[in-house]
Chain A
């Protein structure tokens, strides 16, 4: 097994180099002056000249790439001039908010998609099946930023059930003691109920918005792989042995049906990261996503570049983790 993991890590090296290569060359091949992007379009020519020298833009391209990689290894992702901090420290302060949001939406998506997918497969053509089909059809064509605004209109402006879409907590409470940076968990650990209520209330709507895309895809995947598994011989055998239908579905079929679903989780993480940019912006969620939108509006490229790199790395390592877990659960795939 250790050998398998090592081999997979080895295969990842060229992909990692490629990812770094692409994020670097996005700023160099495409038209547009990186110095102009960093200094802003208003910058005078002398400033630009100095900046080009400082950034090493006058060096040959391969040297620039080399220096870029060296800086990455030192954790230097560049400087965000619109905040006045290094990109690394901005990410560090904002990452917990994003992790909290993505985790919550991940949980919501699974909590809804798994049962819906199972029911839709075992009771084909039932109401649940039809609703989930319509839902996933709608989910694929409704932009999440629009859904977010409509939910805010209904649940905040009209019904007033949800707090104002302005960040993680209301004005009346201060953040819980910093342990993990995730307000829900921190307030639970310190048993700070008023903050916990606030944190959950603020988290719910953005997490639902972020979860919808994933929910639609996973429920359809669970359904189709359940259908495939249920038609196989071992399920018929299990039924013929007189095992309860419930146990056939939950023990024999589900475990096998979940494996294909597991493989798409890396892709799903990518969807979440892209979606976080949009969702956080709308809910003024102080995470990495809204930071990226601020950077876009300020034409500050270093954070965008770092985020692009980071999201590709997260996806690659998620895929690796998924493959390893898959190999642990189902040894057949290790011998390819």
Chain B
């Protein structure tokens, strides 16, 4: 009898999860700002995928006859100092920026969540070692640490991405650690232990899904930050090599022309970076409003916690 009750308790944790997620999607789609954010991201992904179809120009081949032409009907965003079409380069460049942001966050999310879960659930010496090491990483300013890592691996798109993901790890570890510490005292975890589930099953099948909400919010907001850092690395010359059309690198290349008045080389890639970050931040803000238990309880509809 007790075992049945315990099993029911354990399975309750997952059915609640499903019920919640339906409500979350409905709440999220009713949030106008996060829908704008979603739209922005969809536009950028579409541009990245359809770039070869949308533009007759090459993102890399120079066209010296048309260099430094201001925006016009044939070149919407003008051309750069090599005569390359800026719009084409931005569309092709979307994949580097969006991809490196998403991939970097995916890496730090996975590594951080696992480390945080282990530290929180098992605790002890291992747990405190993990947490102290994270404290040490947090002592460095994000951009400076990312620079140091990227520089020591050697410039390149992958090394910039690794650098950004390493810098992001501690935050997820700390979040997951806190969540796990809270959840491991809950009844359904105790029930899981009572029916003899393995620690790893309790941790990854029952604690993890219940701990995810704030982590997902953090990750969505983190993509914007990752894009910001990785475009800064590219701007500083730690990322892609020319002539690859990454947005930060495009701004670095167009830098000297701003003084002589060719504003379009720098302006449009910057707007591209800003709108893609804005997109992820708006989605993240919307998700936080829906998922963050603190905000939810303050708005009155206190449900299961």
Cβ-defined contact, A270 with B255, below 8 A: no
Q: What is the minimal beta-carbon distance from A15 to any residue of chain B, in angstroms?
A: 6
Confirm or deny: B151 has a beta carbon within 8 angstroms of a beta carbon on chain A: yes
Cβ-defined contact, B274 with A142, below 8 A: yes
Additional 12 contacts, C-beta under 8 A, given A278-B236, A312-B140: A15-B139, A18-B139, A37-B152, A137-B281, A146-B270, A149-B270, A153-B263, A157-B259, A157-B260, A270-B142, A301-B151, A312-B139
Q: What is the minimal beta-carbon distance from A114 to any residue of chain B, in angstroms?
A: 23
Confirm or deny: B176 has a beta carbon within 8 angstroms of a beta carbon on chain A: no
Confirm or deny: A131 has a beta carbon within 8 angstroms of a beta carbon on chain B: no
CB < 8 Å A-B pair total? 154
Confirm or deny: B78 has a beta carbon within 8 angstroms of a beta carbon on chain A: no
Q: Which of B7-15, B79-87, B100-108, B224-232 contacts A (4 or more CB under 8 A)?
A: B224-232
Interface 1/0s, chain B 123-136, versus A by CB < 8 A?
00000000011011
Cβ-defined contact, A274 with B143, below 8 A: yes
Cβ-defined contact, B152 with A149, below 8 A: no
Alpha-carbon distance between A293 and B252 when the two chains are bound, in angstroms: 12
Confirm or deny: B194 has a beta carbon within 8 angstroms of a beta carbon on chain A: no
Q: Across the interface, which residues of B come within 8 angstroms of A275, CB to CB?
A: 143
Alpha-carbon distance between A45 and B255 when the two chains are bound, in angstroms: 37
Confirm or deny: A308 has a beta carbon within 8 angstroms of a beta carbon on chain B: yes
Size category of the A interface is 35 or more
Name the residue among B137, B235, B261, B267 with the largest chain A CB count within 10 angstroms.
B235
Alpha-carbon distance between A10 and B94 when the two chains are bound, in angstroms: 48
Q: Across the interface, which residues of B come within 8 angstroms of A15, CB to CB?
A: 135-136, 139
Cβ-defined contact, B259 with A297, below 8 A: no
Confirm or deny: A173 has a beta carbon within 8 angstroms of a beta carbon on chain B: no
> Residue on B with the closest CB to A26?
B152
Cβ-defined contact, A282 with B266, below 8 A: no
Q: Across the interface, which residues of A come within 8 angstroms of B248, CB to CB?
A: 143, 145
Interface 1/0s, chain A 11-28, versus B by CB < 8 A?
000110011011100110
Alpha-carbon distance between A163 and B83 when the two chains are bound, in angstroms: 30
Cβ-defined contact, B259 with A146, below 8 A: no
Interface 1/0s, chain A 235-271, versus B by CB < 8 A?
0000000000000000000000000000000000111
List 6 tightest A-B contacts by C-beta distance, closest first.
A274-B143, A270-B141, A146-B270, A18-B136, A141-B277, A308-B148
Confirm or deny: A152 has a beta carbon within 8 angstroms of a beta carbon on chain B: yes
Q: Across the interface, which residues of A come within 8 angstroms of B258, CB to CB?
A: 149-150, 152-153, 157
Confirm or deny: A194 has a beta carbon within 8 angstroms of a beta carbon on chain B: no
Q: Across the interface, which residues of A come within 8 angstroms of B266, CB to CB?
A: 146, 149-150, 153
Alpha-carbon distance between A295 and B184 when the two chains are bound, in angstroms: 48
> Residue on A with the closest CB to B140?
A312
Q: Return 18 A-B CB contacts under 8 Å, by A number.
A: A18-B135, A23-B148, A137-B281, A141-B274, A146-B251, A146-B273, A149-B266, A150-B270, A153-B258, A270-B141, A270-B144, A277-B143, A277-B144, A278-B143, A299-B151, A311-B141, A312-B140, A312-B144
Cβ-defined contact, A26 with B236, below 8 A: no
Confirm or deny: A101 has a beta carbon within 8 angstroms of a beta carbon on chain B: no
Q: Across the interface, which residues of A come within 8 angstroms of B228, CB to CB?
A: 141, 143
> Residue on B with the closest CB to A27?
B152
Confirm or deny: B111 has a beta carbon within 8 angstroms of a beta carbon on chain A: no
Alpha-carbon distance between A270 and B238 when the two chains are bound, in angstroms: 20
Cβ-defined contact, A137 with B136, below 8 A: no
Identify which of residues 238-282 in chain B touch chain A, using a CB-to-CB cut-off of 8 Å: 238, 248, 251, 255, 258-261, 263, 266-267, 269-270, 273-275, 277-278, 281
From B137, B152, B236, B267, A277 is in contact (CB under 8 Å) with B236
Confirm or deny: A156 has a beta carbon within 8 angstroms of a beta carbon on chain B: yes
> Residue on B with the closest CB to A267?
B141
Identify which of residues 145-197 in chain A touch chain B, using a CB-to-CB cut-off of 8 Å: 145-146, 149-150, 152-153, 156-158, 164-165
Interface 1/0s, chain B 147-162, versus A by CB < 8 A?
1110111110000000
> Residue on B with the closest CB to A17?
B136
Alpha-carbon distance between A307 and B146 when the two chains are bound, in angstroms: 12
Cβ-defined contact, A19 with B255, below 8 A: no
Alpha-carbon distance between A292 and B261 when the two chains are bound, in angstroms: 28
Cβ-defined contact, B140 with A304, below 8 A: no
Confirm or deny: B145 has a beta carbon within 8 angstroms of a beta carbon on chain A: yes
Given A27-B152, A146-B251, A150-B266, A278 and B259 contact (CB-CB distance below 8 Å): no
Cβ-defined contact, B224 with A140, below 8 A: yes
Name the residue among B139, B140, B260, B278 with the largest chain A CB count within 10 angstroms.
B139
Confirm or deny: A122 has a beta carbon within 8 angstroms of a beta carbon on chain B: no
Q: Across the interface, which residues of A come within 8 angstroms of B277, CB to CB?
A: 140-141
Cβ-defined contact, A281 with B236, below 8 A: yes
Confirm or deny: B116 has a beta carbon within 8 angstroms of a beta carbon on chain A: no
> Residue on B with the closest CB to A25?
B152
Confirm or deny: A75 has a beta carbon within 8 angstroms of a beta carbon on chain B: no
Q: Across the interface, which residues of A come within 8 angstroms of B237, CB to CB?
A: 293, 296-297
